[in-house]
């Protein structure tokens, strides 16, 4: 079988590997489609501190179960599944309180262990989620990206009367827009980005107001409009954003942080406690696959609005480069594996 292997930073090869056999409690998935994420690019270029090499990348993937290991019901053969990349121990403190995404021995498929940019992948059976026939293959591949939005919104608990501000109209920001509007019915969603084409994508995904803050002061625009956001999500992931978000927020607002930057960030306690602002952070997803599958089944979100490109596996290097460099026309890129 073919596998996309990052042998070392900046060295990507498509390698022929033996067909894997599922171990106890595992299923083998014949991968149909896989999505590209920024973390895949980071592993390729050596910028992910958690990855060890060589590594088969890919943590957003969909396919069909074609083999089961010992202890797995063989009736699952032929089942269409999307794979949750979060592999947890199930008994540490985070796991015991429903937070397996920050398990003390967390393993992320495609980061800590081999992932889905391969013709076949063996994964824990409990991580392979059944996809109903009402959800297309393309949309099933997008379940994992939408779980990122499901995870942060589950913490922020959006309400229809919220005024939401989202920094960043990349894939993460766009999934959050769709969740806020389609799932939670938030009355006003404002999106700030510095790329005009991204703001068009934000509007197409449901944003009520967009702001190009490349040459305009977001603070001045919101102040002039009399807007004080009650819910803010940082999906742009720059260290300078958090203090501005705190300053712009309404008293009693909730702020969600989705970034993973290691750069220092300076904030003042007074600006937080004087308005009793609640800060939330979000990593991966904590058992949110059933939520997103339900959202898609009910038509509350539309993954098609994010998918801009689909390339064959053999063009993976071009696909990764496209995703990393073309922020104007490219949003989500899917890799086509087996037909």
Q: Are 14 and 68 in contact (CB under 8 A)?
A: no
Residues 6 or more apart whose CB falls under 8 angstroms from that of 170 comprise: 193, 198, 235, 236, 327, 331
Number of helices (H) and strands (E) in the chain: give both, helices first: 11, 18
Residue that is written with structure tokens 């994010």 in the block: 306
Confidence bin at 205 (pLDDT 50/70/90): very high
300: nearest Cα among 171, 186, 219, 200: 186
**Per-residue b or e along 80-93, where b marks 16 or more CB atoms closer than 10 Å to that residue's CB:** bbbbbbbbbeeebe
Q: Are 289 and 81 in contact (CB under 8 A)?
A: no
314-325: average pLDDT: 98
pLDDT of residue 125: 98
Beta strands in 169-267 (DSSP E): 188-193, 209-212, 231-234, 254-257
Q: Which structure tokens are listed for 270?
A: 């007074």
With a threshold of 0.75, does the pTM exceed it?
Answer: yes
153-168: average pLDDT: 98
Quote the mean pLDDT of the chain.
97
pLDDT of residue 215: 87
Confidence bin at 339 (pLDDT 50/70/90): low
Residue that is written with structure tokens 């960043």 in the block: 168
* pLDDT above 80 for 338: no
Q: Are 50 and 111 in contact (CB under 8 A)?
A: yes
40-49: average pLDDT: 95
pLDDT of residue 136: 98
Which pLDDT tens digit goes with each residue over 257-279?
A: 998 888 888 999 999 999 999 99
Which pLDDT tens digit goes with each residue over 57-99?
A: 999 999 999 999 999 999 999 999 999 999 999 999 999 999 9
39-46: average pLDDT: 97
* pLDDT above 90 for 117: yes
DSSP3 helix / strand / coil % (the chain, rounded to 5): 30, 25, 40
């Amino acid at each position: 079988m073919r596998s996309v292997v990052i042998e070392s930073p900046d060295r990507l090869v498509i390698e022929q590997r033996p067909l894997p056999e599922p171990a106890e409690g595992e299923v083998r998935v014949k991968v149909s489609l896989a999505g590209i994420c920024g973390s895949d690019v980071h592993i390729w270029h050596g910028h992910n501190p958690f990855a060890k090499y060589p590594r088969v990348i890919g943590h957003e993937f969909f396919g069909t179960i074609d083999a089961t290991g010992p202890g797995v019901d063989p009736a699952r053969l032929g089942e269409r599944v999307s794979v949750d990349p979060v592999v947890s121990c199930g008994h540490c403190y985070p796991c015991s309180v429903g937070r397996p995404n920050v398990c003390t021995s967390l393993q992320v498929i495609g980061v800590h262990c081999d992932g889905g940019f391969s013709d076949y992948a063996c994964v824990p059976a409990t991580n392979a989620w059944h996809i109903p026939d009402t959800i297309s293959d393309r949309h099933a591949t997008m379940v994992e990206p939408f779980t990122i939005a499901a995870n942060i919104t589950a913490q922020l608990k959006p309400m229809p009367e919220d005024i939401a501000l989202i920094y960043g109209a990349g894939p993460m920001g766009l999934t959050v827009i769709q969740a806020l509007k389609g799932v939670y019915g938030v009355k006003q969603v404002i999106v700030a980005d510095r790329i005009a084409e991204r703001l068009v994508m934000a509007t197409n995904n449901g944003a009520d107001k967009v702001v190009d803050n490349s040459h305009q002061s977001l603070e001045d625009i919101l102040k002039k409009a009399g807007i004080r956001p009650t819910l803010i999500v940082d999906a742009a992931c720059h260290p300078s954003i958090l203090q501005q978000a705190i300053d712009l927020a309404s008293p009693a607002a909730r702020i969600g942080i989705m970034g993973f930057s290691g750069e220092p960030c300076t904030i003042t306690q007074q600006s937080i406690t004087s308005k009793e602002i609640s800060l939330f952070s979000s990593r991966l997803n904590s058992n949110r696959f059933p939520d997103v599958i339900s959202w898609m089944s009910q038509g509350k979100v539309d993954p098609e609005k994010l998918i801009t490109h689909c390339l064959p596996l053999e063009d993976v290097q071009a696909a990764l480069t496209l995703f990393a460099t073309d922020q104007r026309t490219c949003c989500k890129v899917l890799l086509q594996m087996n037909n």
